[in-house]
Structure 1
């Protein structure tokens, strides 16, 4: 008797294939057929779960949010101090490893696809808001002496630095290498008064 297919296993295979196709080929190469071929299943099976390219893209954004949220929560929890948490969370968001470089490519591919689609853009804004609010909370904890406007401006500046490296690094990881990214992040943290010394204390900005 033939073994019945496991719907959860099929969905997991399709999700992994979707992730790989978007990271490798970008939104222009994301098709039902490409995902089916990468997953080793029929186009009909993919179509049964994701009726069109928009559904594939929305699922990819949800996967990205879930992956990065889990990783970010882990590094924040492990941090020894509020300032260490700020650095760890921002570093986790940079393109420093093969995994995070792939995440950056998925993020950038989704963002490119969302330029002409309000529904995709709204999903992106929702995910980005979660990260903005996390950084606002972490910086506020690291610098309770700052008012809300100062915290907010600093959070936005640091997030712009990180996301800028993610965009630039997808095309040129030689110039924007992991070492360059971390050096720039640490210099920015120092300039903003959020650097961490050996005793996990804040180093005042010069």
Structure 2
């Protein structure tokens, strides 16, 4: 995973609340194996009509939002299942940052594990950001992860929340496996000490 300290780009307003991972990435496309080619299936039921043609009313089908790299979403974005295909599809489309007043916990963890910044702001700030992004002339946002703030020409500076551990993981480009491997010496020392203290429980190879 590449480190990310922030991002600037077009922000698409998507005010729908309680959006679940099946709406973000529908189950009928789960067998698509290439996570880098999932963009066509993102929000499929909203982006396309029943005949397969693009829905001109959907925000990501409109200019300049068809090139959005930031998504401003309604409350409780990413609820439902733990489907990691949802952040994969968002990243495949080009989304690098999400802004909302609340993210589902597992979805948020999956975003962080895939290098997508989930910026949590207040309900009042979310309403202001959605209004600004609705105007194509004011839809350019900067997400500054180091300072924990959003910047926009109309709104100025808006603080956002992200835990220290999640922020550090994104800044370093580490996923949860990287964090575990960083503790490998401590893990090996613990295993060695445990094997020496209770050798009758050591059912594997002797710890060297």
TM-score (norm 1): 0.30
Which one has a larger percent helix, Structure 1 or Structure 2? 1
Relative contact order, higher structure (CA 8 A, sep 6+)? 2
Which one has a larger percent strand, Structure 1 or Structure 2? 2
TM-score (norm 2): 0.30
Larger Rg: 2
